[in-house]
Chain A
Amino acid sequence: MSSDVIIIGGGLMGASTALQLAMRGCRCIVLEKDSPGRHSSGVSAGGLRQLNRDPAEIPLTVEAAKMWRNIEALLDSDCDARFPGQLRIAENAADMEKLERRAALVRSLGYQHEEMIDRDELYRLVPALSPHCVGGLICREDGYARPYHALTAFRRKAQAQGAEFRSDTKVHSLRKKSGAWHVRTSQGIFNAPILVNCAGAWAKAIAGMLDEPVPLTPKALMLMVTERLPHFVDPVMGAASRKLSFKQMQNGTLIIGGALLAKLDFAREKTEIDWLRLTESAATVLRFFPQLKNVRIVRAWAGIEAFMPDNIPVISASQTCSNAYHAFGFSAHGFQLSPVIGRILSELILDGRSTLPIEPCHIGRFNNMEKQ
């Protein structure tokens, strides 16, 4: 089976890359070891967040935000995207100072999307909030979408443009023979001149097949969701000095995260909820919204995701092999970037360079680290 490009990994980044390449006339085949979105892409919290990104990601996140505003034109689906803003709450003067320094940094880089708000504006936006808070930092253009719906939309549109997706197709080995990649999988051999590694938490193994070690750590972050509730809050919320991610979806359920790790058995691809850790998330939520005390948690889960030591992704051509590319290690905040990542990779592959600055995401930044 041959094509122009083989993409390993059927998650958001793989599907977005397939779509952008297919729109430019490339024949792509996406190899997915399970089913699309089985791990982090399918179970992400779905935040569309520019707020509080690493400076290296700001140009990318700002471009991605423009694409999300117009996502229906790209994907023929709105992915249930909503833009009520994302907010970091300050509980005291030290928090305010921290957020002000952050706002100043963003302004100094020439961006205007992060904005300080005072107590009055905070309570105008979130009247339900416990009265002890003092202000916050907001990005009013931010919001959320439904990750599995977005993934499905990327996949369906890519398929409509000719891309092929193969589930249950696990890559066993990679070999380059007379200028083409030979990918041996559980479902036979696939050939293409170009290879893209979008394998998420399994990207380290794929990079290893290219003799390219990377310091990627698989981790599983826990999320929980409540029963449907009457509408009571709009923006997506975090806190300046607490682990919290909190939002009410259109259907009334609350999605609660807090960067807390599940127990992970990576070899068996199994996660187990660590309830004693989740108590912290519950306590944090109740600190801000005591009225939620009797609200029931109906589901908790954890998705396996790739984390890099500096928490920014690898988006780069391979250093060891020509015609091989990487996009992985989004460290649990890749969802918002997904539309722009496909475009960047299509540019790298077809034009030899990206129109957005991706130098900080180069795979070579770990060279010294790996040698040590």
Chain B
Amino acid sequence: MNNHYQLLVIGGGPAGLAAATTAAERGVTCALLDEQPTPGGQIYRAIEAIPEQRAKLLGPEYLRGRKLVNEFRQSAAEYFPETQVWSIDKEHQAGLLHNHQAHFITADQIIIASGAMERPVPFPGWTLPGVMQAGAGQILFKSAGIVPDNGVVLAGSGPLLLLLAWQYLHAGVEIRVLLDVTPFANHLQALPELPRALLAYRYLSKGIAYQLELKRAGIPIMFGVSDLTAEGNERLQRVRFSHAGKRKSIVSELLLTHFGVIPHIWLTQAAGCKHRWDNSQQCWRPELDDWGNTDIEGILVAGDGAGIYGARAAEHAGRLAGLQVLSALNVISRQERDQLSRKDRKRLHEERHIRPFLEAYFHLPDNLLATPGNDTIVCRCEEVTAGQIREAVAAGHENSNQVKFFTRCGMGPCQGRQCANAVAHIVADARGKSVAETGLFRGRPPVSPLTLGQLAQLPKKGTA
């Protein structure tokens, strides 16, 4: 690993792979850092080594990743797997952990392709062993061929839930029930967005096909579910919920939930990039121009880390960011950049047709996001409840950061990744303000923990 590269790409998913390949093809020195042992990101996880039979179960969209990874492998970009980035600053210096050693490297340009994470939505019992995120189920399946053994309940909202159900169905997993918490009112809200969404018929038809197949297989799907609760003595035993005006329950030792995905913004936050609250996607996202430039010169974002548009869009955005970097480095002219970007820009545009519809259709109700039950744990690390957060607000702590100071909510090892949004929603709800006003936790480095020994072994600098 060198101390300096012309381009540093963080993240080995579709956006990062496409960006690095685009830049490296033109002779730019490029390093791609990724936490996983092999390229592909969460979406194409383990794509290189996966047994053929398992790959087929995951479906054709998954297999798309092969081409992307092959092209990246053939490029001159240097690849550093199992590497964590723990700091990044506006001077383009990144602190990273590679082979358990801390390093600093600098780059003329940095593309952050950090991707998405599951939107954490606290509900009663979500900390019980046996409750996991749907993405976790998918990762276990892709990377290790591990699937539920004794039945599973799937619950939540969003396309991934249906996809996972379809994949499990083909893998012979017993799906006890699929509980869809999408409010019925959303169907009407999403209607005006439907004509544009029809341009992306591929998505719609796929969703419908999945549903039909699940139905044919006799898997019960319940719509308009609410008050989801995980119950059990020290581990999940029952899932309770309201449906069609009745309280119901089903026995299960495994519940996988999904409430959509949100951008992974911890790196852009650490770099000091400007973010805004997006009401339609219900998340914070970095502010970017059409090429992926943040408000900090030479730091770009591509893919779902910039806002949720999906894997295919991420690939196109990655190429656009790669071209922008080439132009910023004077490897190609602006005219060349514009010319070379036409196809990807067109495709990206098409990929985005479906989004307003999906965002309206899967919009989560505010009362779900604001954790109605006072006894529900919001901060999984420090075990702070929604009630304690409301008490802090009542005692005059007016924004998310004050609530964090007072309750330690968000001060555990996950650094608030699991509770930041819920706290913002609870505080906003309690104060009658908007989420944008009550604010996001200020980012506190390191982005991922490093040890005192690793820090001490970095080169010293003159003291204050």
Give me the interface of A with B, judged by CB distance under 8 Å.
35-37, 42, 148-149, 152, 155-156, 159, 165, 167, 226-227, 243, 251, 259-261, 270, 272-280, 282-283, 285-286, 292-301
Contact = CB atoms under 8 A, between A and B. Distances in A.
Contacts of B272: 270, 272
B451 A295 contact: yes
25 contacts: A35-B398, A35-B399, A35-B401, A35-B402, A37-B402, A148-B405, A148-B406, A251-B408, A260-B463, A261-B464, A273-B445, A278-B455, A279-B458, A279-B459, A280-B460, A285-B456, A293-B451, A294-B453, A295-B452, A297-B446, A297-B452, A298-B411, A298-B413, A298-B415, A298-B449
Contacts of B412: 298
Contacts of B408: 251
Interface string B284-313: 000000000000000000000000000000
Given A148-B405, A152-B395, 13 more contacts: A35-B401, A275-B95, A276-B104, A276-B460, A279-B458, A285-B456, A286-B452, A286-B453, A292-B452, A293-B456, A294-B453, A295-B451, A297-B455
Given A275-B458, A277-B464, A156 B451 contact: no
A155 B396 contact: yes
A155 B450 CA distance: 36
Interface string B432-451: 00000000000011100111
A295 B397 CA distance: 32
Contacts of A148: 405-406
B257 interface: no
Nearest to B397: A152
B405 A296 contact: no
Contacts of B415: 298-299
A276 B87 CA distance: 12
Contacts of A36: 402
A163 B89 CA distance: 41
A294 to B, nearest CB: 5
A149 B395 CA distance: 12
B402 A277 contact: no
Nearest to A279: B458
Contact of B463 (A42, A277, A296): A277
B246 interface: no
Contacts of B460: 276, 279-280, 283
A294 B97 CA distance: 14
Nearest to B95: A275
Contact of A277 (B104, B396, B445, B461): B461
A297 B95 CA distance: 14
A227 B89 CA distance: 23
Given A273-B87, A296-B450, A152 B456 contact: no
Given A275-B455, A280-B463, A300-B445, A159 B450 contact: no
A18 to B, nearest CB: 13
A295 B454 CA distance: 10
Contact of B89 (A156, A167, A272): A272
Identify which of B408, B413, B455 gathers the most chain A CB atoms within 10 Å of its CB. Answer: B455
Identify which of B408, B456, B457 gathers the most chain A CB atoms within 10 Å of its CB. Answer: B456
A328 B446 CA distance: 31
Contacts of A42: 405
B444 to A, nearest CB: 4
Given A37-B405, A298-B413, A276 B459 contact: yes
B352 to A, nearest CB: 33
Contacts of A282: 452-453, 455-456
A285 B452 contact: yes
A300 B89 CA distance: 14
B464 A297 contact: no
Given A152-B397, A275-B95, A280-B463, A226 B458 contact: no
B447 to A, nearest CB: 11
A15 B452 CA distance: 36
Contacts of A270: 272
Contacts of B95: 275
B444 A226 contact: no
B449 A227 contact: yes
Identify which of B87, B89, B405, B408 gathers the most chain A CB atoms within 10 Å of its CB. Answer: B405
A227 B448 CA distance: 12
Interface in B108-152: none
B207 to A, nearest CB: 40
A299 B411 contact: yes
Contacts of A276: 104, 458-461
Given A275-B455, A298-B449, A159 B396 contact: yes
Nearest to A293: B453
Nearest to A222: B464
A279 B461 contact: yes
A224 to B, nearest CB: 9
Contact of B455 (A152, A261, A279): A279
Contact of B87 (A156, A259, A275, A296): A275
Interface in B258-289: 272
A275 B450 CA distance: 12
Nearest to A270: B272
Contacts of A152: 395-397, 406
Contacts of A243: 463
A282 B401 CA distance: 27
A350 B49 CA distance: 78
Nearest to A285: B452
A92 B299 CA distance: 49
Nearest to A149: B406
A226 B459 CA distance: 21
Nearest to B449: A296
Contacts of A295: 451-452
Given A270-B272, A272-B272, A280-B460, A293 B395 contact: no
Given A35-B402, A260-B464, A297 B451 contact: yes
Identify which of B90, B399, B412, B444 gathers the most chain A CB atoms within 10 Å of its CB. Answer: B444
Contacts of A227: 413, 449
A149 B392 CA distance: 11
Contacts of B405: 37, 42, 148
A88 to B, nearest CB: 18
A42 B398 CA distance: 14
B442 to A, nearest CB: 8
A279 B464 contact: no
Contacts of A165: 396
